């Protein structure tokens, strides 16, 4: 339901699947690639 409503979720899931890593690892790698501090985003989401 969430995927159908939000295509970005599908995109994120596709990215994770294509990378062949866990969601957590994918997030960290992407954050690093973009120069974003992953801890910062985690803290903001808590």
Residue 34 near another protein by CB under 8 A = yes
Residue 1 near another protein by CB under 8 A = no
Greatest alpha-carbon pair distance for the chain in Å reads 32
Residue 5 near another protein by CB under 8 A = no
How far is the C-alpha of 16 from the C-alpha of 27, rounded, in Å?
8
Residue 46 near another protein by CB under 8 A = yes
Query: How far lies 38's CA from each of 2, 18, 29, in Å?
Result: 24, 20, 9
CB of 30 to another protein, least distance (A): 6
Residue 18 near another protein by CB under 8 A = yes
């Amino acid at each position: 339901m969430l995927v159908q409503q939000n295509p970005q979720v599908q995109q994120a899931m596709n990215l994770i699947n294509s990378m062949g890593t866990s969601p957590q690892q994918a997030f960290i790698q992407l954050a690093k690639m973009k120069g974003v501090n992953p801890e910062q985003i985690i803290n903001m989401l808590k």
